Amino acid sequence: MALGKGLPLFSELTAPKPLKLMSSKAFPGGAVAQIYRPALNTIAVEVGRL
């Protein structure tokens, strides 16, 4: 688990890593396959008036 909750599969991670969901596929039996990549831009941009 690299996002925060659940069974820790990567115990050497000290904090959650920013990831981007690339694809997701649901199967008839209820299983879901998800592919993530490291997020390249983790800076939040606030749009306001000038």
32 pLDDT higher than 80: yes
pLDDT at 1 over 50: no
Is it the case that residue 22 has pLDDT exceeding 70? yes
- Pick the more confident residue, 37 or 6: 37
Rg (CA), the chain: 15
How many whole angstroms separate alpha carbon 15 and alpha carbon 24?
A: 24
Alpha-carbon distance of 22 to 35, in angstroms, equals 6
Higher pLDDT, 23 or 42: 23
Q: What are the boundaries of each domain within the chain?
A: 1-40
